[in-house]
Structure 1
Amino acid sequence: MAGSSHYIMPRAEFDDAPKLLIVISPYYKDIADNLLAGAKAEIEAAGGTHEVIEVPGALEIPTAIGIAERMSNFDGYVALGCVIRGETTHYETVCNDSSRAIQLLGLQGLCIGNGILTVETQKQAEVRADVNDQNKGGGAAAAALHLIALARKWSVARKGVGFTNDILMAGKTDGSSTA
């Protein structure tokens, strides 16, 4: 809709800098570069740090995030890429499967901002990726940062509630675990 606007939440704030992994598919290099610039600027403006890895296509983005979650220590993730409709059903497969996989990772507790553009034309992608226009890369980073802030808020509330490893280890003097 021309002339319509949408609400943008205030930037998330942190006491301890969040560390994010940006996973990007540079299949459309110029679009990817703009998405990346927007994401980096948003993370840095919130006082966060980031690392960037590249994968061949949008379908590999969720897999890379899953690997990083298992093997590293990131607070959150930003998924960046672009899928432009072609003449075959491959577009629907890539759009649906990458989005569904990212959503499933999110439901498992990962803080992910999804900035994979799914568009009809190159021009639509350019407008959405442009940091001075729709800035979807910055928006994806902002989404990840807000989820990190929410996860941190709730994790603080749970500290000391229920059984913890410290309670289970109480009385153990040899350093062995109870599990």
Structure 2
Amino acid sequence: MAGPSHYSMPLPTFDAPVKLLAVASPYYKDIYDQQIAGAKAICDQAGVELEVIEVPGALEIPTAIGIAERLSNFDGYVALGCIIRGETTHYDTVCNDSSRGLTLLGLQGLCIGNGILTVENYEQAAVRAQADGQNKGGGAAAAALHLIALERRWGNAGKTVGFTSGNLAKGGETV
């Protein structure tokens, strides 16, 4: 008996160009190479421009995305990396904090596909990263594209999410 099937939504189409930034950690270089290959293939298929930057590890990915959002003009982001359980609780910290950082950025309105693998061993990472297999790098790129499509569909430049300096009056009262 086969396992559960996984549905992949068709890639969205865009009337205007899309620029994605992949922020990736090459800590496990062969895993990284497969994740990047998968993300590039999806972007090529969708006709989307993809730029790739590298950071030392998964904890730096949310910070780099935050910097890019403030200082650049990307429509969305792809977070790529790999965290393999070791002998200490550092694994839990890196998994939780990198995920939390990406979630907080997403809740602020950034379109982010999270492709940071959190696995027990190298073999699990290799299976998930394989561009012609589970292709989690491609899946993260597709997720970012779907969020961009939603943002463009519902876009309203006048709305913000969260706190901004413009929506608080003196004393912390909401304006």
TM-score between both structures, scaled by the size of structure 1: 0.86
Alignment partner of 2:73: what SS? coil
Give the letter aligned to residue 112 of structure 2.
I
Q: CA deviation at 1:133?
A: 1.1
When structure 1 is superposed on structure 2, of 14-23 and 60-69 the one drifting more is: 14-23
For 1:134, give the aligned amino acid.
Answer: Q
How many angstroms apart in 1 are the aligned matches of 2:2 and 2:29? 28
What corresponds to 1:167 in structure 2?
none
Q: CA deviation at 1:3?
A: 2.0
Provide structure 2 residue ranges, at least 5 long, that are not aligned to the other structure: 160-175
Distance in 2 separating the partners of 1:8 and 1:50: 21
Write the mapping of 1:22-171 to structure 2, written as runs, cut at 5 A. 22-155=22-155, 158=156
SS in 1 for 2:82: strand
Pairwise CA distance, 1:2: 5.6
Quick one: which amino acid aligns to residue 135 of structure 1? Answer: N
Amino acid of the residue matched to residue 142 of structure 1?
A
Shift of 1:16: 1.2
Identity %: 74
Q: RMSD between aligned alpha carbons?
A: 1.6
Task: Structure 1: state its 5+ residue gaps.
Answer: 163-179
CA distance in structure 2 between the partners assigned to 1:115 and 1:93 by the alignment: 17
User: How many Å separate the matches in 2 of 1:67 and 1:123?
Assistant: 33
Which residue identity is paired with 2:75? Answer: D
Q: Distance in 1 between matches of 2:3 and 2:95?
A: 28
Residue 11 of structure 2 aligns with which residue?
11
Amino acid at match of 1:78: V
Secondary structure of the equivalent of 1:11?
coil
For residue 139 of structure 1, report the CA deviation from its aligned partner.
0.1
The structure that has the greater radius of gyration is 1
Q: Could you list the runs of 4 or more consecutive aligned residues of structure 1 that deviate by over 6 angstroms after TM superposition? A: none
2:27 counterpart SS class: coil
- Paired residues in the alignment total 159
